[in-house]
Structure 1
Amino acid sequence: MALDLAAKTRPDAPPASSLLQRRRLLFAVLAAALAVELLREQIGGGGLPEPVPLRLVVPSPAAEPVGPLRLRALEPIDVPMPADTLAAHASSLVVQPGGEGLLAAWFAGSRESAPDVRIVASRFDPAATKWSAPQTLVDRDSLARLLGFGVRRIGNPVLWIDGRGRLHLFVVATGLGGWAASRVVHLRVLEPGASSIDAGTPVEARVLPLSPLWGISMMVRGAPAPTVGGGALLPLHFEIGIDVPMLLEISEDGAPLQVSRITNRTNSRQPSIVALGPQQMLAFLRDDGEPRGYVQRARSMDAGRHWEDLPAMELNNPDSALAALRLPDGSLVLAINPDEHDRRRLVLMRSTDGVQWREEAVLDDAPNTSDLGAPKYRGLTEYSYPTLALSGNELHVSYTLHRRLIRHRRFVLEPAGP
């Protein structure tokens, strides 16, 4: 006789699908908490003495106090793409040693997750105000050869130059499954002072041990914050069922040292971190909350080792990446999509106290007559995934244009005047 499961259910009980979703969520929360704790043990070494105090690199104070600065916008520049590129996304910027230009990296191919996607890079020459022809840094085949096992897809590059001037590339890669099964691969140029990955440059690659489950379900997006001693704090997040934003302390060689969870929320990811002082940090987070998302925040007073949640900002976040940076006058800038539901507008917000924000500049807005001729990926209108970098007296912003191009905006920092 078959069991009558329906007869065993209370009339007022929630549907089986709802119960299953709750159980999955509970499992995801427990799995994420366990993963973070095991990761702390795995990286930090359980039972070891409390790690030495960490200090962040913050801009040295100027000889003369820096007064309020204004941002003067320059003409946008579109970064050259490899031939036959149909999709481009997720750019990362890094200032080269000595402030001699910028290096940008992004993924390009026929579509996101396609077998032909590769991580490409271009250099910006500030004297010529021109980007170089794009160069492939790594694709799934070359990455597989470096690692010694198969790679199915790659994406989300993050650039970093360590205290000795060596270039590091962190990239998301999967073997099987989707992005939830991704791992973070670390590529390090072995030549001292080498800040590029050219043909023949010796490179070391490894999967970072970022979860007890073979390092899966870990992703990167935000720029690292440098620490005294040549290391950095690398933002990352875990995502299986829920989102867990974290911060990984890495040595000058890129070796993982310690990990911390940034927030107790389970719907925030892709943290962008800002150093306000040697110990004080802010994290701004993408929000995938429903039915409406807002920019989320957290604060640390011990260089990222412990975090306190702050109230959500009164700024929309339509489940979209953001980027934050501190200017020399102490003000903060935040590149976000400010609309409630889409990415058709990208702006630069600014604050002097981190609480009250005003719109400083419109980076791009649809419809925008300046890009009427720009190609679009599958007809998509989108300005998204901004990255910020400060070089000399210029603020640089790169972002995705219609999932087809990478656009570069520059702002000259000038005294605001009387």
Structure 2
Amino acid sequence: MKKNIFLFTFVTLLILSSCRSYQPVLLTSSQIFKEGQVSFKQCHASTIQSIGKDSLIASWFGGTHESNPDVVIWASRYLNGKWETPIQVADGALDEKQYPTWNPVLYQHPQSDTLYLYYKIGPNPREWKGYVKYSLDKGNTWSTAKALPAGVLGPIKNKPITLDNGIILSPSSTESKDEIWKAHIEISKDRGTTWSIVEINHESPVQVIQPSILQHKDRKIQVLCRSKENKVMSSFSNDHGKTWQPWQATNLLNPNAATDAIRLKNGQFMIVYNPDLAGKDWWEGRTKLRVALSKDGLKWNDALILEDGQTGDEYSYPTIIQDPQGLIHITYTWNRKSIKHIVLK
């Protein structure tokens, strides 16, 4: 008995020590495509998903420039050690008129082989609507587009998470014509067939969009949001997203720019963010990009510098996953000319 207790204590201390000493290591850094290898001039808002051992798929929107009607959704698969030539997988054709597309998000339920591609169609983020396609062959071919139910936008930028009971929590938000930002969660108990909407502190004056969702070990749910407060903002739920506590500021700066965060297999949380304050124009503050770690989701410590650019550079809209082998994949906008792919361990 004493031997078992000693062994359990030793293993526990070893795990805790490993978590405390974890430092991400950069394995590879590359562009999914080079400028001139694609037909679009600008690209933005990438998403990435593991589709098998050593295989990935990434998606983004690209065209003349953001909000132009020729902006469509592109995708590339990473197979046999290289990224394939990007192909168009969705557009904004509605009622014989062409609208820009926005913010694709790849998602796969852990108990299903169906891969979903959520995205938005509309003239701007205040008037866009949510759409979805699915693939049964790991992104090689896609279904026709289907509009999401009225009022359901789908994941706005970051991935849904799936709870142990199979319920999907999809992070979403709205931007009104009055430029008011509010976050909400879209919940599905039937793998995305139907959705219910839960507002997150809509009575608060704090303005936030583009949540990431984290699940803590005690089953508490946390959202981390881009904000107009110059800080990454957080809220917690103790009932699986049904109700939410007041907004709290983390110690992370936020220049009105997107972030993404996940819970790692070692129990720690990882976020990718722009460490700066908002400027006069929306694109200011996006020249630097960092990785930070946290144990509680509120206090973060920088762990890695991904970009340290100059005025005029833009490294933004990161997305992050951890694959079944434990490798961490990050993609982000690289000067609107390409999508950067980072691999950490």
What TM-score, normalized to structure 2?
0.84
Q: Indicate the SS of the match to 2:107.
A: strand
Matched residues, number:
315
Quick check: 1:207 aligned with 2:154?
A: no
- CA displacement, residues 7-30 of structure 1 (integer Å, 9 cap, x when unaligned): xxxxxxxxxxxxxxxxxxxxxxxx
Counterpart of 1:395 in structure 2: which amino acid? I
Counterpart of 1:167 in structure 2: which amino acid? L
Equivalent residue, structure 1, for 2:43: 88
The partner residue of 2:119 within 149, 167, 171 is 171
Residue 359 of structure 1: CA displacement?
0.8
Counterpart of 1:381 in structure 2: which amino acid? D
Percent same amino acid among aligned pairs?
26
Counterpart of 1:349 in structure 2: which amino acid? A
Residue 149 of structure 1: CA displacement?
6.2
| Whole-angstrom CA distance in 1 between matches of 2:169 and 2:243 | 13
Equivalent residue, structure 1, for 2:288: 345
Q: Is the strand fraction higher in 1 or 2?
A: 2
Residues 299-310 of structure 1: matches in 2 within 5 Å? 299-310=236-247
| Whole-angstrom CA distance in 1 between matches of 2:42 and 2:128 | 20
| Whole-angstrom CA distance in 1 between matches of 2:155 and 2:262 | 21
Return the index of the structure with the highest Cα Rg.
1
Equivalent residue, structure 1, for 2:59: 105
Residue 250 of structure 1: CA displacement?
2.5
Counterpart of 2:102 in structure 1: which amino acid? G
Equivalent residue, structure 1, for 2:261: 324
| Whole-angstrom CA distance in 2 between matches of 1:101 and 1:237 | 30
- Decide whether aligned partners of structure 1 residues 136 and 204 sit closer, same or farther in structure 2, where only a CA change above 3 A counts: closer
Counterpart of 1:207 in structure 2: which amino acid? A
- CA displacement, residues 91-116 of structure 1 (integer Å, 9 cap, x when unaligned): 011122x4442211001111112222
Contact 1:183 1:219 in 2 (8 A): no
Residues 239-278 of structure 1: matches in 2 within 5 Å? 239-240=175-176, 241=178, 242-251=180-189, 253-264=191-202, 265=204, 266-277=206-217
RMSD: 2.3
Quick check: 1:383 aligned with 2:315?
A: yes
The partner residue of 2:224 within 280, 284, 287 is 284
| Whole-angstrom CA distance in 2 between matches of 1:121 and 1:101 | 14
Residue 408 of structure 1: CA displacement?
0.8
The partner residue of 2:271 within 334, 346, 352 is 334
- Structure 2 gap segments, 5+ residues each: 1-10, 279-284
Residues 5-404 of structure 1: matches in 2 within 5 Å? 66=15, 67-68=18-19, 69-80=22-33, 83-96=38-51, 98-125=52-79, 128=81, 130-141=82-93, 144=94, 150-162=97-109, 163-174=111-122, 177-189=123-135, 191=136, 194-198=137-141, 201=142, 203-211=143-151, 220-228=156-164, 230-240=166-176, 241=178, 242-251=180-189, 253-264=191-202, 265=204, 266-277=206-217, 279-289=219-229, 293-341=230-278, 342-367=285-310, 380-391=312-323, 392-404=325-337
Residue 166 of structure 1: CA displacement?
0.5
Q: Indicate the SS of the match to 2:126.
A: helix
Counterpart of 1:94 in structure 2: which amino acid? Q
Counterpart of 1:186 in structure 2: which amino acid? V
- CA displacement, residues 220-254 of structure 1 (integer Å, 9 cap, x when unaligned): 11111023455521111122121111111125542
Contact 1:219 1:238 in 2 (8 A): no
| Whole-angstrom CA distance in 2 between matches of 1:132 and 1:116 | 22
- Structure 1 gap segments, 5+ residues each: 1-63, 368-378, 413-418
Contact 1:380 1:403 in 2 (8 A): no
What TM-score, normalized to structure 1?
0.70
Q: Is the helix fraction higher in 1 or 2?
A: 1
Contact 1:208 1:256 in 2 (8 A): no
Counterpart of 2:185 in structure 1: which amino acid? L
- Decide whether aligned partners of structure 1 residues 209 and 151 sit closer, same or farther in structure 2, where only a CA change above 3 A counts: farther
